[in-house]
Structure 1
Amino acid sequence: MTATVSNFHYGAVTPVASYLMACLGAALGLRCTTRSLRRPHRRAGWLALGAVSIGCGIWTMHFIAMIGFSVQDALVTYDPVKTLLSLAVAIAVVAIGVFLVGYRGGSPVNLGVAGTVTGLGVAAMHYLGMAAIQTNGGLHYDALTVALSVVIAVAAATAALWAAVSIHKLWASLGASLVMGVAVTGMHYTGMAAVSVHLTGQSAVSQSPTSLMSFLLAMLAGPLTVLLIAGAIVMFDPDMMLGDEDWDRPAYTPRDTGAGSPAHQPSQSSRPYNS
């Protein structure tokens, strides 16, 4: 018997909250990548923090959205090992993409490779998280809808990586994070549209919906704490308000003493690398 599946058991609460988490992770990741490009001596640390922020943002988006997932006449639980493994996958694949563009620049070829790897990894995180679901039935997927969700994941990852190395103004990066939130959340709900559940019998699961939510909230506590810490680090960093015009500003401006003065000499860009 095919069960009725809903992704909006609590109405608009879960999709809105999941979208905000995706935006938060993207915004922190973009700002961390900007810091890494300006501070090459600390590049690895900022890129790592950016990868963790984006990865945790995507993962928390997924499982906040899954709080609203329900199957009629069946209880749903999650395998904790697969759930945590999906978090590790999310962070690892985002780190690959972020470090590629952070150290090798934003050339079309490099962006294509990094975006594809990261997008496929994000899709793998999503479907690994789905594989953690335990219920009295089997999950089945529509192949074309799954393929569409993977395409969206790759496109979203590529756009996010391009924004990370190309957009440095604060308000522009915040706007980009809102767009990234739409793309990542859209990928999730596209993937969920591919799901159907075929029940095999009466539910033998004794867990209540309340305890299921408690489990998911406990899983979310760690990544949410990481995002709060990353947000505090970014907010208190002195370069938070830097924009593109600040990147090429000379460290000092000598007095104008004539055509031969240093003020008339070409200034060197302060960008730490050439993309």
Structure 2
Amino acid sequence: MGHLDHAAFGWLTPVLSYVMACVGAALGLRCTVRALAATGRSRRNWLVTAASAIGTGIWTMHFVAMLGFAVGGTDIRYDVPLTVLSLVVAMAVVCAGVFAVGYGRDRTRALLIGGLTTGLGVASMHYLGMAAVRLHGAVTYDPVRVGLSVLIAVVAATAALWAALNIRSPLAVTLASLVMGAAVTSMHYTAMFAVNVRVTPSGATLPGATAMQFIFPLAVGLGSYLFLTSAFVALSPTSGEREASASAQQPMDSPTGRQQAWPV
């Protein structure tokens, strides 16, 4: 068995991955709150932004954590198409879960379907990402820990969507995102502790890209997207603020004698 190191850079990758998961969760919850207060195209756009934020946060969390993954006796490479596919899966399933909640008529049913879909999607993203790992040896999994990681993913996703439906205040959203970040991170490390590697020493060149060649630049790019989108959402007015602004701009002495709102 090869010696597995899940934190080759010490606490840097676990802490940074947790921060990315929390930022994605906070942004996703904030956008879902905005979506539920909106209608039509605006609701759809907020839900897409929420899904991309949560999906990006989860994927970035996973691969930032993977930067700290090392196996004694072998180099590690990543299959680029499979890694990109894992990102697409993360986005697609989170989108399906968020839309189930955003447009579901029966809240409880929508929550259960959305939570199950999103949780299974998060687990699929993780194991697709692991399938992209190339090393000298054979990778096997402890089925009990795999099952536990999938259960944590489903519970975490359901809790996050429940929070999106029921939480409004910024403080509550912050607390919910910290909990969600912890749940996603614990799912990742539970899944990683299910991994066993039997190393077969070899001088052959491994296919794929190194973490620093591919994973690191992509994680930095997606992390930047999260932070920039967070700033945009934080600075954009809510529907309540827009209404307050519109009423404040109404001229008191309009020709008809009624207050009229300027177009905003």
Shorter-chain TM range is 0.7 to 0.9
Partner of 1:103: 103
2 CA distance for matches of 1:105 and 1:166? 15
2 CA distance for matches of 1:12 and 1:106? 43
How far 1:151 sits from its partner (Å)?
A: 0.1
How far 1:38 sits from its partner (Å)?
A: 1.1
How far 1:238 sits from its partner (Å)?
A: 1.3
Supply the AA of the counterpart residue of 2:233. V
| Secondary structure of 1:185 counterpart | helix
Give ranges in structure 1 of 5+ residues lacking alignment.
253-275
1 CA distance for matches of 2:163 and 2:154? 14
Partner of 1:192: 192
How far 1:105 sits from its partner (Å)?
A: 5.2
Partner of 1:235: 234
| Secondary structure of 1:173 counterpart | helix
How far 1:201 sits from its partner (Å)?
A: 2.8
CA contact (8 A) 1:75 1:203 kept: no
Residues 126-205 of structure 1 mapped to structure 2, 5 A cutoff? 126-205=126-205
Supply the AA of the counterpart residue of 1:192. M
2 CA distance for matches of 1:30 and 1:212? 30
Q: Could you say if the C-alpha distance between residues 206 and 89 of structure 1 is closer, same or farther in structure 2, counting changes exceeding 3 Å?
A: closer
Q: Could you say if the C-alpha distance between residues 178 and 203 of structure 1 is closer, same or farther in structure 2, counting changes exceeding 3 Å?
A: farther
Deviations 1:44-70 (A, max 9, x none): 000000000000000000000000000
Q: Could you say if the C-alpha distance between residues 123 and 213 of structure 1 is closer, same or farther in structure 2, counting changes exceeding 3 Å?
A: same
1 CA distance for matches of 2:70 and 2:170? 39
How far 1:233 sits from its partner (Å)?
A: 2.0
CA contact (8 A) 1:47 1:99 kept: yes
Q: TM-score, normalised by structure 2?
A: 0.87
CA contact (8 A) 2:135 2:206 kept: no
Aligned residues: 242
Asked if 1:25 corresponds to 2:24, the answer is yes
Supply the AA of the counterpart residue of 1:3. G
Partner of 2:222: 223
1 CA distance for matches of 2:70 and 2:100? 38
2 CA distance for matches of 1:32 and 1:237? 11
Asked if 1:68 corresponds to 2:88, the answer is no
Give ranges in structure 2 of 5+ residues lacking alignment.
248-264
Tell me how large the CA RMSD over aligned residues is: 2.1
Supply the AA of the counterpart residue of 1:205. T
Deviations 1:115-165 (A, max 9, x none): 011100100000000000001111100000000000000000000000111
CA contact (8 A) 1:111 1:162 kept: yes
Deviations 1:197-221 (A, max 9, x none): 11123242379x9x53242212213
Supply the AA of the counterpart residue of 2:112. G
How far 1:39 sits from its partner (Å)?
A: 1.5
1 CA distance for matches of 2:201 and 2:13? 29
Q: Percent identity?
A: 49
How far 1:190 sits from its partner (Å)?
A: 0.1
Supply the AA of the counterpart residue of 2:122. V
How far 1:106 sits from its partner (Å)?
A: 6.5
Partner of 1:37: 36
2 CA distance for matches of 1:117 and 1:206? 34
| Secondary structure of 1:3 counterpart | coil
How far 1:222 sits from its partner (Å)?
A: 3.1
| Secondary structure of 1:134 counterpart | strand
Supply the AA of the counterpart residue of 2:116. T
Instruction: Give the 4+ runs in structure 1 shifted more than 3 A.
Output: none
1 CA distance for matches of 2:38 and 2:108? 23
Deviations 1:62-83 (A, max 9, x none): 0000000000010000011111
Q: Could you say if the C-alpha distance between residues 106 and 231 of structure 1 is closer, same or farther in structure 2, counting changes exceeding 3 Å?
A: farther
Supply the AA of the counterpart residue of 1:85. L
CA contact (8 A) 2:136 2:199 kept: yes
